Amino acid sequence: MLLGYSLSPFGHDPDAWRQARDGRLLGFDALLGQVAAAEAAGFDFVLLSDRLGLRSSDDLSSVAVPFEPTLFASALATRASRIGIIAAASTVQHEPYNLARRFASLDLISKGRAGWLVVTDDSDAGRESEYVDVVTALWDSFEDDAFLYDKTAGRFFDPSKMHVAHHKGPYFSVRGPLNVNRSPQGRPLVAHLLGDSNKALAARTGDLLLLQAETADGLVTAAAHAVKAVEAAGRSRRGIRLLANIVPIIVSGSQGTDDASGFPGYDQAIRIAGTTGEITDQLLELAAAAGLDGFTIFPPTLEMGQRFISEIAPELRQRGMTGPNAGTTLRDRLGLARWVHPSGLGEEILR
C-alpha cells in the first residue's frame, strides 16, 4: 500500500491553527520535521498542494504552506533523502518552458524524487492539454546519453540525441530544447487531483491520480470511472497509480466516533473516523473495494497527522501492507517504470 502525506503547517482543518498558536510552525524547520517524520514512517511522498495553486483574493490561508512550492521542494530535497516530493504548480501562473525547466531541475536536485501536481484552469480544456504536452515534450529534449563530455574530441554533447520541440499550437509556441539534463526518472512524475473537468487530461497524462470522494460508495465509483478513462485513453491500469485522499480522525477506544463530529468534511478527501485498528481496517476495506494502490493523508490537525504516523503507519506495516521501498526514485517507490525516451521505444510500449 502506497502512502502520501499532504503537508500543512497546522493541519487541513481551517481552524487547526487555534489549537497550536505557534508561529514557528510556519517555519521551514517545523515543516521539515513533519516531512522527516513521514519519511521515517515509510511514506512514499509528501504533497505540497499549496491551496492547489490558487492565489488568495482577500484572505490568507492557515492551511497553505507559506513558501513557493517548487522552491520549498528543492530545499526539502536536500534535507530529506528518501521520500518523494510532489509540488503543485498552476498552468496559468507559469510559462510552459519555465515550468518544465523548474521541475526538471528539481528532479536532478532530488536525485529523481520530484513530481508535478498539475493545477489546471477549468475554463479551457484545449489550452490545458496543449500546456501539459509542451512540458512533457520539453522533458524529452535530450536522450539519456546525449551529453558526452568528451574533452579529447571536444564534444560536449551529441546533437543527434537532442530533440527540439518546434511546437506551434493554438495557445503556445515553444521551440526548445530544454537547457537541463535529462531527468533521473526519464520524466518527473505527473500527478492530477482527479475531477470531472480534468478527467480526460488526467487519464491521458497522469502517472498518479488522486481520487476525491465524500463516501465509500462515491470512492468506488470514482475509481471505476478513472480506470475506464485511462483505458479509453489507450493506457493500461498497470501504468498508473490510484490513491484516495482521506482525512483521518483517530479516537481512543473509550471515545467513540461521535467525538470526531467536530472535525469538518472536505470536498477533496473522504473522512474516516475510528480507533487505530478501526481506521486501519477501513483503509484495507476501501483499498480492496475500489482497487486502490493507497491513500494520501490530509491530517486535519498536527496531532492527527502525528498519530497516523506513530500509530496507523506501524499497524499497516505489521499487517504486511507496507514495507521497505525498493529503488531510489519516486517512480521506483510507486512501482512505476522509468520513462523511456520516445526515440528508444514506440509509444505503445511507453504506456
Residue pLDDT, tens place only, 150-173: 788 888 878 888 888 889 999 999
Cβ contact 253:275 at 8 Å: yes
Determine the angle formed by the axes of helices 96-109 and 125-139, rounding to 10 degrees: 40
pLDDT above 50 for 334: yes
**Given this model, what pLDDT does residue 57 score?**
53
Cell, residue 232? 479509453
Dist CA 31 CA 37 (whole Å): 10
**Count of CB atoms situated within 10 Å of the CB of 254:** 7
**Given this model, what pLDDT does residue 41 score?**
96
Give strand ranges (E) for 121-251.
147-150, 155-157, 167-168, 173-174, 189-193, 208-211, 241-250
Mean pLDDT, residues 322-351:
78
- In the block, residue with C-alpha cell 500500500: 1
Give the pLDDT confidence of 234-253 residue by residue, as tens digits. 999 999 999 999 999 999 87
Give the pLDDT confidence of 271-330 residue by residue, as tens digits. 999 999 999 999 999 999 999 999 999 999 999 999 999 999 999 999 999 987 778 999
Cβ contact 146:112 at 8 Å: no
pLDDT class of 265 with cuts at 50, 70, 90: low
CA angle 85, 273, 314 (to 5 degrees): 55
Rg of the Cα trace of the chain?
20
**Given this model, what pLDDT does residue 65 score?**
85
pLDDT above 90 for 228: yes
Dist CA 177 CA 70 (whole Å): 21
pLDDT class of 260 with cuts at 50, 70, 90: low
H or E element in which residue 90 lies: strand 84-90
- What's the mean pLDDT when you consider all of the chain? 89
What is the DSSP track for 1-15?
-EEEEE--SS-SSTT
pLDDT above 90 for 132: yes
Kindly list the structural domains of the chain, giving each domain's residue range(s) and its CATH number in brackets, ordered by start. 2-123+181-350 (3.20.20.30)
Work out whether the CA dihedral 34, 36, 40, 44 comes out positive or negative.
positive
pLDDT class of 10 with cuts at 50, 70, 90: very high
The separation between CA 74 and the C-alpha centre of its own chain, rounded to angstroms, equals 15
Mean pLDDT, residues 199-226:
95
Cell, residue 216? 465509500
Mean pLDDT, residues 6-15:
92
- In the block, residue with C-alpha cell 516530493: 85
Cell, residue 348? 505503445
What is the DSSP track for 257-304?
GGGGTTSPPBTTBEEEEE-HHHHHHHHHHHHHHHT-SEEEE--SSHHH
Of the listed ranges 50-59, 83-92, 267-276, the one predicted with least confidence: 50-59
Q: Name the percent of the chain lying above pLDDT 90.
A: 71
Give the pLDDT confidence of 120-131 residue by residue, as tens digits. 988 899 999 999
Mean pLDDT, residues 20-47:
93
pLDDT above 70 for 349: no
The separation between CA 107 and the C-alpha centre of its own chain, rounded to angstroms, equals 13
Dist CA 113 CA 286 (whole Å): 27
pLDDT class of 258 with cuts at 50, 70, 90: low
pLDDT above 80 for 259: no
Q: Name the percent of the chain lying above pLDDT 70.
A: 91
